[in-house]
Amino acid sequence: MSSPTLELWNAAASSPFSPVIGKSLHATVAFILLAIGAVLTIIFSINKSLVLAPAIAFPASVAFGLGSVYALAAGGVYV
């Protein structure tokens, strides 16, 4: 059963899927991101102001979000 897709597969032998972050780093990355999120949240909650929102609150949300994705992955739930 020679199939063009098999050839495609063989042709792509040199370019396996390369993940953004490897499995061994999930826990570390999750911890760092969540920690950044927590610290930024605390800073923001001490000194609440609209001016600081994009500078501190927004990165905090992003760090929390990505951090929880990798925390899930580190816990074995690969999303």
Report the interface residues with another protein, using CB under 8 A.
1-6, 8-9, 11-13, 15-23, 26, 42, 45-47, 69-70, 72-73, 76-79
Min dist. Cβ of residue 20 to another protein (A): 6
Q: Specify the 3-state DSSP secondary structure of 15.
A: coil
Judge whether 33 and 66 are in contact, CB under 8 Å.
yes
> How many angstroms separate the Cα of 32 from the Cα of each of 21, 26, 38, 39, 70?
13, 10, 10, 10, 10
For residues 28 and 45, which CB has a smaller minimum distance to another protein in the complex? 45
Q: How far is the CB of 7 from another protein (least distance, A)?
A: 8
